Copies of this chain bind each other. A is one copy, B any other.
């Protein structure tokens, strides 16, 4: 043994991870063992052969050929609103909103819908989110319609708490508590918890 099987296999794994394009022959040369040993190692580590590795890498590439998606102005369509009280919006999940990998909606879209609604419900046009505590409670898939309901639960001069729950049918998929600031100009020096 040049160094013990274990150590070689560890290094083998790293090597292939770093460069999936390496052949067994090259690896054999690298580790000064026979090609057969490399193959046994791959078997034990269940590392697929070169072509399968390359194919996998290539497939990764093909599965998402859509470029980065610009998030449009308003997320969701507001269908009902009572300023400083409550609001409802709907958001239809399209192909662009989901991970190509698994078809699950990317979290920031659900966040954006809820956050947009929290901003919209505030009767001041200039609301900023300071803090948010959110939960994604069920994955949302392409084609599903998300209905977000916002409720103002506390209303102060500067601070307003908005609770938003989003549903697909009767199932809740998201909930969050947004701490909103009815900020004025908001120039430079705001110390903490400002922004949107």
Contact = CB atoms under 8 A, between A and B. Distances in A.
Interface stretch (A4-12, A29-37, A110-118, A150-158): A110-118
Contacts of A136: 128-131, 193-196
Interface residues of A, number: 64
B138 A194 contact: yes
Contacts of A71: 108-109, 112
Interface centre among A21, A59, A62, A100 (most CB of B within 10 A): A62
Contact of A54 (B55, B129, B139, B194): B55
A104 interface: yes
A47 to B, nearest CB: 16
B104 A111 contact: no
Contacts of A68: 72-75
Contact of A193 (B104, B109, B115, B135): B135
A1 interface: no
Interface string A163-195: 000000000011000000000011000101111
Contact of A107 (B129, B140, B186): B129
A57 interface: yes
A48 to B, nearest CB: 13
Contacts of A55: 21, 54, 58
Contacts of A186: 102, 104, 139
Interface of A: 20-21, 51, 54-55, 57-64, 66-75, 96, 99-102, 104-112, 115-116, 125-126, 128-140, 173-174, 185-186, 190, 192-196
